[in-house]
Amino acid sequence: MDENDAKVRRQWLIVFILNMVNSALWCTLNAFFNPLSAQVSGVFTLMGGLAGLIGVGYPIYRCIYQKPGTKLVTALLIICVLSFLSMPVLLFSGKMTPPYTIPFYGVLQAISYLISICWIVACWRIRKVNRKLQLAVISKS
């Protein structure tokens, strides 16, 4: 692994952490400001969301960063791109109403879209690095 590959891996890790913090922030805001979550205890909703975040975050970290794989990162790329493209369509068509009860919702949504773009680019780049690492291991054996 050369210096450029190590740089891509570090950048992916930073964007991964940003993405997890962003998800935890949305989970917290939804738990306490969304009227639908108020019907269930906000703390219960928060705990379930954070447990799900850890339950999903660790396998992603392990399968992409610790053990350089390409299958999970490819699946994540497809899911993230579809989610990124479908969310504005759902919001503007009226199929999904935005939770305006969350303070500064528009600003937070814009920041989330920027993080999503960084996440998609970082996943694309680490997929290429991991593929190169896999091919190097195959050629050695």
User: Distance between CA atoms of 43 and 25, rounded to whole angstroms?
Assistant: 14
pTM exceeding 0.75: yes
pLDDT number for residue 100: 67
**pLDDT truncated to tens, each residue of the chain (141 aa)?**
789 999 999 999 999 999 988 888 887 777 777 666 656 666 776 777 788 888 888 888 888 888 888 898 999 899 989 988 888 887 778 777 676 667 777 788 889 889 999 999 999 999 999 999 888 888 887
Terminal C-alpha separation, the chain? 17
Produce one character per residue of 47-57: b if its CB has 16 or more CB atoms within 10 Å, e if not.
Answer: eebbeebeeeb
- 28 conformational bin, left if phi > 0, alpha if psi -120 to 50, beta if neither: alpha
pLDDT number for residue 124: 95
pLDDT number for residue 25: 84
Residue whose pair of structure tokens reads 């303070």 in the numeric block: 103
